[in-house]
């Protein structure tokens, strides 16, 4: 897997709260999808990312179900989180408090005739209540 971290952009004030996004279905709680979650913190996936995960190309149906792809993305997020933890070292708690974004590659179908890696963006940081959470989405969504 390839990893790189980017600074977190300033949050937009007009964005809905995480609770509202979960209630409306824009975000899906990871606990509802898979138990137990491999993520080290409470996490959610965007609806668009989950839809992309579920779009398994016909050629790959025998080898990878959507549940297997979901597990792969969640385990990739866990590995990226641990790598960031090692990178930040002692400042990791401070990084979580301020928030950070990690892009990691995951094998997600783009077209049925193409096997390609696409990036998943993981945002780690406090939500509006102050709880540190993880949000996984497609790069253009965060």
Asked whether the CA dihedral 51, 30, 75, 102 is positive or negative, the reply is positive
39-67 pLDDT per residue, tens: 888 899 999 988 888 775 555 554 567 77
Closest Cα partner for 80 from 17, 10, 134? 134
**pLDDT category of residue 105 using cuts at 50, 70 and 90:** confident
Q: How far apart (Å, rounded) are the C-alpha atoms in residues 69 and 73?
A: 6
pLDDT of residue 60: 52
Mean pLDDT score, 87-97: 74
Mean pLDDT score, 100-112: 71
* pTM tops 0.85: no
CA distances for 99 relative to 26, 64, 66, 93, 140, angstroms: 21, 33, 29, 10, 18
């Amino acid at each position: 897997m390839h990893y790189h971290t980017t600074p977190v952009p300033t949050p937009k004030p007009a964005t809905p709260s995480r609770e509202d996004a979960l209630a409306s279905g824009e975000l899906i709680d990871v606990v509802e999808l898979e138990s137990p979650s491999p993520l080290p913190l409470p996490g959610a996936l965007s609806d668009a990312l989950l839809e992309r995960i579920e779009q398994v190309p016909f050629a790959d149906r025998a080898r990878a179900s959507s549940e297997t792809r979901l597990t792969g993305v969640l385990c990739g997020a866990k590995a990226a989180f641990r790598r960031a933890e090692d990178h930040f070292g002692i400042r990791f708690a401070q990084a979580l408090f301020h928030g950070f974004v990690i892009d990691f590659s995951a094998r997600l179908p783009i077209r049925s005739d193409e096997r390609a890696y696409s990036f998943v963006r993981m945002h780690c940081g406090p939500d509006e209540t102050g709880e540190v959470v993880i949000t996984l989405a497609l790069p253009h969504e965060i």
